[in-house]
């Protein structure tokens, strides 16, 4: 029914990164192992679930036996990763933001791609890509009852996802190869997100507000 | 597959009003332009998305290229609207509540209508209409991490939507014309909502609690 | 299309318990009758809605004319139930937690069962069962803007649902009768949840944190 251009393994990797980011968010709030794993699963699968439900295609997060274990694995890897990064708060912040940005970037591209396969109009493809990109983190933040950072002034989540989705849509419409388009679009999202973040980190004040 | 009684342009208008109400809610909390537009899109499309996902019909908010731009436009119009209304807090409150009530009313009717087209039992039609009516504002409030006003004592959101949905259902079952039924039902919702609101505003105390 | 092993009346009963638990949660926060009934409907139907939307099967909460009235009835029964239980805070806590646990248990089993009927892989069946189990309470808590208790350290919601779902899945795969499997699995969930809760209640401190 839907022959996706982007292969399964990319979904698996994206879910894994989302799981890691979700687990890190849970750790930062001092959740125990159950909370960490639950948020890993939600943060990992949230974007993929939202995407497929919105597009009304089979929910890959459930029909494939690979996605849930990948999110779980992300949750289990958070402890060794934190050990690796070390106790410095700054390095942890960088690690968290980078993982979050990678998850954001991959889901944005995967969401745009699948929306294109379904044949939605351009603006809807970019919308679904953006929702898939920010969705996992959004659901995660809502469930732990925090105001999602995505709405705070100066946070470049949505603003990082949108140009990436547009870039992917344009490149694919021009029939550039899938992998090239995906790598460039992922690069766009990560670049915008990380430069905005490091800028924020320098100015400092607003993050604590 | 689904021949809706209510035409596309009404969906477009309802989404626009929802977008305006969402953008106003964002402005009140001091969000920047990105937050305003994001909440406009969510507040505008939320009800339509929830409705179509619940009914498992094609998601018009995505398949039609008109609904997203309409929500966006609502978000862009908020600045000129606020300039028009002027700086008085009371007039802004009236404008916000009225827009919110119009969005509530239109979505309630549209949701009931589409549920009837799908052939759901009466109680489900009223339920879907009510969820579609309050859904956009509910998702919006959850995302900005506020307790939705809908649950606060004395707020007549749900109580305004339900009689409107029932009225529309009864009139359509009696085979009154679509437009007459819609106008009456929208009138019911707006009347209940606005009179309850102005009453609350007079008694005053509870709103601040 | 989908010949469910578990009959409709079980869904109706589960929704009723969920409705009662939702209404109790609303009462505890001092909501008025509208808020109580709204939360009863959401707490009652939430799990069933989430389950069917995730599985992309017809949404029984809407197609059946029995589920919504059942949730409503649960909401209406909360006042007589509270009168019956009496004013003692401890007895009310027990009543609330027990109802919540029964709703959790029944939805977990029903969710696992329906996921098996759809033919999902084992891990997804357990996931859908768990999400259906905790979903109603989760949506309820998110809507009233509380951090869901499910994530708090030491709360055995998810940890109670998962073994119940696994037990049901294993027993059904071994072709044990539906009713036996369901009763055992429901027993597992309630036992784990209630013993963890009473333990928490003894240690006391963490609940208030």
Let me know: does B67 contact B61? Beta carbons within 8 Å. Answer: yes
CA distance C62 to B128: 8
Q: Given B31, B41, B63, which is nearest A151 (Cβ)?
A: B31
Let me know: does B40 contact B19? Beta carbons within 8 Å. Answer: yes
Would residue B126 count as lying in a domain?
Answer: yes
Number of cross-chain residue pairs from A and C with Cβ atoms under 8 Å apart: 54
Tokens of A174: 């021009």
Would residue A3 count as lying in a domain?
Answer: no
Q: C123 and A31 in contact by Cβ < 8 A?
A: no
pLDDT at res. A5 = 61
Nearest C-alpha in A relative to B45? A127
Cβ contacts of C55 within 8 Å, gap of 6 or more = A62, C114, C115, C118, C120, C128
pLDDT at res. C107 = 93
CA distance B170 to B51: 20
- Residue of C151, C152, C153 to mutate when probing chain A, most A C-beta within 10 A: C151
Would residue A154 count as lying in a domain?
Answer: yes
Would residue B209 count as lying in a domain?
Answer: no
Q: Look at residue B94 and tell me whether its pLDDT is greater than 90.
A: no
Would residue C193 count as lying in a domain?
Answer: yes
Residues of chain A with pLDDT under 70: 1-6, 147-155, 200-209
Chains with at least 3 CB pairs less than 8 angstroms from chain A: B, C
Instruction: Please name the residues between 163 and 202 in chain C that touch chain A, using a CB distance below 8 Å.
Output: none
Q: How close A143 comes to chain C (CA, Å)?
A: 6
Q: Provide the H-helix boundaries in C144-177.
A: 158-173
Which residues in chain A touch residue C122, judged by CB atoms under 8 angstroms apart?
A: 65
Q: A30 and C153 in contact by Cβ < 8 A?
A: yes
Angle (CA) B1-C54-B64 rounded to 5° is: 40
Tokens of A204: 């400092």
pLDDT at res. B89 = 75
pLDDT at res. B203 = 41
b/e sequence A1-10, b meaning 16+ C-beta within 10 Å: eeebebeeeb
Q: How close A153 comes to chain B (CA, Å)?
A: 5
Which residues in chain C touch residue A48, judged by CB atoms under 8 angstroms apart?
A: none
pLDDT at res. C91 = 79
pLDDT at res. B3 = 46
Q: Look at residue B116 and tell me whether its pLDDT is greater than 90.
A: yes
Share of chain B above pLDDT 90, in %: 49
Q: Given A32, A142, A144, which is nearest C153 (Cβ)?
A: A32
B19-23, B33-37, C29-33 — most confident range:
B19-23
Q: A32 and C148 in contact by Cβ < 8 A?
A: no
Domain count, chain B: 1
Would residue B171 count as lying in a domain?
Answer: yes
Q: Given B34, B68, B145, which is nearest A124 (Cβ)?
A: B68
Would residue B57 count as lying in a domain?
Answer: yes
Q: What is the complex's ipTM, to 2 decimals?
A: 0.85
Residues of chain C with pLDDT under 70: 1-6, 147-155, 200-209
Q: C41 and B127 in contact by Cβ < 8 A?
A: yes
Instruction: Please name the residues between 138 and 157 in chain B that touch chain A, using a CB distance below 8 Å.
Output: 142-145
Angle (CA) A63-B2-A131 rounded to 5° is: 45
Q: Does the beta carbon of A33 lie under 8 angstroms from any beta carbon of chain C?
A: no
Q: Look at residue B111 and tell me whether its pLDDT is greater than 50.
A: yes
Q: Which domain holds residue B133?
A: 8-201
Q: Given B62, B65, B144, which is nearest A151 (Cβ)?
A: B144
CA distance B159 to B148: 15
Q: C145 and B150 in contact by Cβ < 8 A?
A: no
Let me know: does C132 contact C110? Beta carbons within 8 Å. Answer: yes
Nearest C-alpha in C relative to B125? C62
Which residues in chain A touch residue C146, judged by CB atoms under 8 angstroms apart?
A: 145
Instruction: Please name the residues between 80 and 139 in chain A that touch chain B, using a CB distance below 8 Å.
Output: 115, 120-124, 127-128, 138
Would residue A2 count as lying in a domain?
Answer: no
Q: B32 and A159 in contact by Cβ < 8 A?
A: no
Q: How close B83 comes to chain C (CA, Å)?
A: 32
Nearest C-alpha in A relative to B49? A54
On the 0-12 / 13-18 / 19+ scale of CB atoms within 10 A, A93 is middle
HSE at residue C84, side-chain half, CA atoms within 13 A, is 7
Q: C153 and A35 in contact by Cβ < 8 A?
A: yes
Alpha carbon distances (Å) from B176 to B170, B171, C11: 9, 5, 36
Which residues in chain B touch residue C56, judged by CB atoms under 8 angstroms apart?
A: 56
pLDDT at res. A2 = 42
Cβ contacts of C40 within 8 Å, gap of 6 or more = C19, C20, C22, C23, C26, C71, C72, C74, C75, C78
> What is the pLDDT averaged over residues B193-198?
86
Let me know: does B142 contact C146? Beta carbons within 8 Å. Answer: no
């Amino acid at each position: 029914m839907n022959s996706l251009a982007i292969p399964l393994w990319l979904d698996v990797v994206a879910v894994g990164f989302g799981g890691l980011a979700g687990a890190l968010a849970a750790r930062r709030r001092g959740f125990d192992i159950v909370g960490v794993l639950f948020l890993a699963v939600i943060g990992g699968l949230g974007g993929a679930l939202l995407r497929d439900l919105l597009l009304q295609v089979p929910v890959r997060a459930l029909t494939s036996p690979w996605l849930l274990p990948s999110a779980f694995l992300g949750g289990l890897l958070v402890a060794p990763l934190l050990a690796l990064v070390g106790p410095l708060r700054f390095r942890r912040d960088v690690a968290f933001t980078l993982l979050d940005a990678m998850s954001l970037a991959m889901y944005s591209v995967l969401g745009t791609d699948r929306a294109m396969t379904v044949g939605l109009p351009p603006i809807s493809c970019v919308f679904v890509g953006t929702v898939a990109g920010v969705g996992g983190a959004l659901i995660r933040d809502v469930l732990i009852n925090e105001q999602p950072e995505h709405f705070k002034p100066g946070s470049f989540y949505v603003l990082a996802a949108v140009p990436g989705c547009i870039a992917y849509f344009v490149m694919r419409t021009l029939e550039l190869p899938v992998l090239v388009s995906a790598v460039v679009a992922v690069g766009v999202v990560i670049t915008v997100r990380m430069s905005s973040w490091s800028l924020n980190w320098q100015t400092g004040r607003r993050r604590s507000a």
